[in-house]
Amino acid sequence: MFKIIANIKEPTILKIQSISDDRGLLIPFTDDIDHNLFHRCYMVEDYGKGVIRGLHYHKKEMKIFTIASGAAKFITMKLPEELANRNNENEIKEFIRTNPKAVKAWVLSSRHHGVLIVPAYFANGWVSLEEHTVLVSLSNLRFEKAKDDDIRINPYIIGKDKWKVIGR
């Protein structure tokens, strides 16, 4: 039975098993995915620590992220569709102020294997926490359709602190 199916409603981290021996490791990160969902796989490498990618909002696109090398902090944000359509910074700031739980943070790294599933209707973005962080992503849309489903949102609308690693 697949753990990643079309009706996932909230961003979710799914831990994945890595199989290691004296040669290295194997990470079968697509084994729990209904393969009929995904039509594109792509890789992104950030050369430097602190590079932010996003925020992007999608009405149709579902994404799955994993980190092949390095580490990244992901942000997801549930926005009502009408707010995303207008993309008015003041309205979005007010929504975040009155709905702070709409913004969530997740961390993935090549040392703790997992995938982050981000369904449609969630803005998402990530910041590299290490030099040469490499992200591998799956999408339910091919690039031609995905680019028409991309609403870009100012990444700092959630506040600059959300992108930082906070000492504890």
Structure tokens at 140: 């339910």
> Which segments of the chain have a pLDDT < 70?
1-2
In a domain, 134, yes or no: yes
Q: Determine the pLDDT at residue 151.
A: 93
- Contact between 64 and 117 (Cβ < 8 Å): yes
- Contact between 138 and 64 (Cβ < 8 Å): yes
The residue written with tokens 């009155």 in the block is 98
Q: Determine the pLDDT at residue 25.
A: 82
- Residue 72's Cβ-count burial label (10 Å; 0-12, 13-18, 19+) is buried
In a domain, 63, yes or no: yes
The total number of structural domains that make up the chain = 1
In a domain, 27, yes or no: no
CATH code: domain of residue 82: 2.60.120.10
In a domain, 45, yes or no: yes
- Contact between 27 and 15 (Cβ < 8 Å): no
In a domain, 6, yes or no: no
In a domain, 5, yes or no: no
> pLDDT, tens digit, for every residue of 84-113?
889 999 999 999 999 999 999 999 999 988
Structural domain boundaries, residue 111: 12-18+33-158
Task: Please say whether the dihedral angle defined by the alpha carbons of residues 41, 139, 143 and 79, taken in this order, is positive or negative.
Answer: negative
In a domain, 165, yes or no: no
Q: Determine the pLDDT at residue 2.
A: 62
Cβ neighbours, 10 Å, residue 74: 22
- HEC profile of 138-151: EECCCHHHHHHHCE
In a domain, 3, yes or no: no
